Amino acid sequence: MGKYIGKRLIYMVITLALIATFTFFLMNVLPGSPIASADKLTPDQRAVVEARYGLDKPLPVQYFDYMFGLVQGDLGISINQFKGADVTDVILSRMGPSAQIGFQGMLIGTVLGILLGMVAALRQNTWMDYTSTFIAIVGISIPSFVFASLLQYWFGLKWELFPVALWKDGFMSSVLPSIALAMFPLATAARFIRTEMIEVLGSDYITLAKAKGASGSEIAFKHAFRNALIPLITVLGPMAVSILTGSLVVEQIFAIPGIGEQFVKSIMVSDFSIIMGTTIFFSVFLIVIILLVDILYGVIDPRIRLSGGKS
Amino acid sequence: MEKILQVKNLELSFNTQGGEVKAIRGVNFDLNKGETLAIVGESGSGKSVTTKSIMRLLPESSAEFKNGEILFGGRDLTKLSDKEMQKIRGKEISMIFQDPMTSLNPTMPIGRQLTEPLLKHQKISKNEAKKVAIDLLRMVGMPKPELRMKQYPHQFSGGQRQRIVIAISLACNPKILIADEPTTALDVTIQAQILELMKDLQKKIDTSIIFITHDLGVVANVADRVAVMYGGKIVEIGTVDEIFYNPQHPYTWGLLSSMPSLDTEDAKLYAIPGTPPDLLDPPKGDAFALRSEYALKIDMEQNPPFFKVSDTHSAATWLLHPDAPQVEPPLTVIERMKKFPGSRYYEGGAV
C-alpha cells in the first residue's frame, strides 16, 4: 500500500509539471498581456513594470524562473488583479466559500442521489421509480447555470426564502449555490445506483442471502448496497470535476467571492500568475481526488485491494 | 416413513409480457425424512422453478401460485407471508446453488456470511456464532478455518467456495436441503469430492435433500428416489433402481439412452430429437408426444394420468394403460431392464 501510494505521488508530480508547462505556454500564446490595458503608461514606465514582474525576460527564462519558484512552493505575485498580492494568499483567502458550496453540493448530491437510486431500484416500475428517474433526467439535462437562475428566481425573488446572491448571510447564502451544484452529482448518483442495485439484486449471492432468511432491508443494505457502490466511486472523480467547473459558473451567477469567480476574472484581465496558480491548485485538487477514489475502491471492494508488492 | 414435505398438485405461472408461462403444471411429490430425492430433466422442465417455489424465492411480481399446496410441518408454504418464510429459509429449509463463483457476496468476509444465518435464526452471541462457523468450515473440510474466516470469496477456489456455501446452508441443521445443480459448475474431480461431502453430512445431521440435476451419473451416485420432470410436470417417479433399470416413460428412455456409458459400442451418442414444449401454450396431451416415436394417438389429445408400476414407482404415460399396444423400448433401455427383477425383460441376476 505504502509503496503504491509512493509510486502514485511520483506520477502526480510529473502530471503537475506537465500541466504547469502546458498552461504556461498556452497562456502566453493568448492575445493580451497583463499590462496591455495600462496603455496610459509611457514606454519607460512600461519597461519598469515589466521588469518588476520579470515579463521583460525571454519566455524560456520566465518559464524556468516560474518552475523554480513553483518547486519551492512560491506561486508568484498577482500582476494586476490583486496588485502585488501573493498568489498563495489570494487562493487561500478565496478558498473558503468555494470549498463550502462545493462540499455541501457534493454531500447533498451524493446522499440524495444514492437515496433516490435505492428507492427507484427497490420499488422498480412504480411511481417512485418513475419520479426518481425523472429527477435524474432533469438533473443531467439542465445546465447548472439555468438551474441556478431558476433557483434565484423562485427561492430568492418570488418566495424570498434565501438571498438571491452575494455572500453576506453565511450559511443562508450558501444554500442556493449548493443546490445548484448538487443537481449533477445527484442525477448521476441516482442513475448509477439504480442500475447497479437492480443488477446486484438479481445476482446469485442476493438469492443466497434470501435463502439464508435475510429480510428485505438486510438484503438491500447489508448485501447489495456495498456492491452497488463500486461503480459510483468511479464517477466520483468526474463528479468532483463537475463541481469544480460548475462552481466557475455558479459562483459567477451568485456573485460568490470564491476561487471560481476569481479565476474567471483573472483570465479576463490576463493575470498570468493568478491563472497559473489557480490552474495548479485545481489540478492538485483533482489529482488528489483521483488518488483518493482509487484508494476508496480497495476499501469497498476487497478484490481490488491494492498490494504494493504485486502490482 | 415420515413425510417431511408434500407437494400437492402444484401449479405456478409466470406472468410475462408475452402472456402466462405455465412453468409448473400440476406437480406432486413427497419427500421422506433423511432421503435424497433427485429431480432430473432438461433445461426449462421446471425443476429449478419447483424448488425455488418451495423456498418462495421466485419474484413475487411475476410468479403466481395458481393451484395446489406445499405442506411442510403442517403449514402450506404457498400461503405464508414473507416474514414467516424468512423464519423458515436458512433455518428449516436451505439451499445450495449452481455457481459457487457467484453465490457468495464478494465484498463480505466469508466468516460474516457464515455467521449470518446463525445470528439470524439462533439466539447466540457473535463469539459463539464464530465458533460454530469455524466448526462448520472444519466440517466441510476447509483447512485452517480460523485463518480463513476473515478472507473474501475471491481468495477461495471454486470447490472451496461450494464447500463454504454448503457450510452456510447447513449452519442451522435444516430439515431439508435443496441443492440446485450444486456440482454442475465444478470440474469432475471436485464434483466427486463435493458429492461425497454432501452424502457424509447428510448422515451426520440427518437432513433430507432435494437434488436437482441433469446429470444422470450424479443421480445414480447420490439419490434414493428420482423424479423425472418434463414440460412443467413430473412424468415418472420411483426409486433410483426403478428409474434406471425399469423405466416406463418414453422421455426417461430418451434420457437414459442419451447418457454416455463405457460399454456402448456406438460411436454416436443418442440425442432426443426436437425441442422442449412452449409453456406459453403447452400442448393439450402428453407434452412429450411430439418428440416421441412411441406416441399414441391419445397422447396428442389427452394428458396421461399416473399409472402405478409398483408401490414406489409410477409413470404418466398412456403406454401403461391396459389397452395400450406393447412397444419395445430402445435397445440400451432393454439392456438395462434385463438386470431388473420384475421387469418384463428380466433375465436373472441383480442390479
Distance CA A2, CA B127 (A): 33
* Coil, helix or strand at residue A25: helix
Q: pLDDT digits over B14-23, tens only?
A: 998 888 999 9
B57 versus B347: the higher-pLDDT residue is B57
Condensed to tens digits (0 to 9), the pLDDT of residues A141-174 reads 888 788 888 887 877 777 777 777 777 777 767 7
- Nearest-neighbour CA in chain A from B117: distance (Å): 6
Give the whole-angstrom CA distance, residue B112 versus residue B101. Answer: 17
Give contacts of A222 with chain B, Cβ < 8 Å: 108
Q: Which residues 180-239 of A are in CB contact (within 8 Å) with B?
A: 203-205, 207-216, 222-223, 226-227
> What's the confidence (pLDDT) of residue A286?
83
Q: Is the pLDDT of residue A35 over 80?
A: no
Q: What tens digit of pLDDT does each residue of B101-153 get?
A: 889 999 899 999 999 999 989 889 999 999 999 999 988 888 899 999 999 99
For helices A171-201 and A127-141, the axis angle rounded to 10 degrees is 120
Q: Which residue of A has its CA nearest to B114?
A: A212
- Three-state DSSP at A211 gives helix
Mean pLDDT of B173-185: 89
| Structure confidence by residue, pLDDT tens digits, A236-269 | 777 777 677 667 788 888 888 878 778 888 887 7
pLDDT at position B264: 60
Whole-number percent of chain A with pLDDT over 90: 3
Higher pLDDT, A217 or A84: A217
Q: Which residues of chain B lie closer than 8 angstroms to A209, CB-CB?
A: 105, 116
For A4, residues 6+ apart whose C-beta sits below 8 A from its C-beta are: A306, A307, A308, A311
**For all residues of chain A together, what is the average pLDDT?**
81
More confident residue, B320 or A305: B320
pLDDT in tens, A39-58: 677 777 777 777 777 777 78
Confidence (pLDDT) at B263: 66
Whether B29 has a pLDDT exceeding 90, the answer reads yes
pLDDT at A309 over 60: no
CA A106 to chain centre: 9
pLDDT at B351: 64
The ipTM, to two decimals, is: 0.84
The helix-helix angle for A144-151 and A171-201 (nearest 10°) equals 130
Which residue does chain A place closest to B103, by CA atoms?
A: A205
CB A162 within 8 A of CB A172: yes
pTM, two decimals, is 0.79
pLDDT at A308 over 50: no
Q: What is the dihedral of CA B194, B200, B206, B211, to 10 degrees?
A: 30
Q: For chains A and B, what is the number of CB pairs under 8 angstroms? A: 74
Instruction: Using CB atoms, pick whichever of A211, A302, A303 lies closest to residue B95.
Output: A211
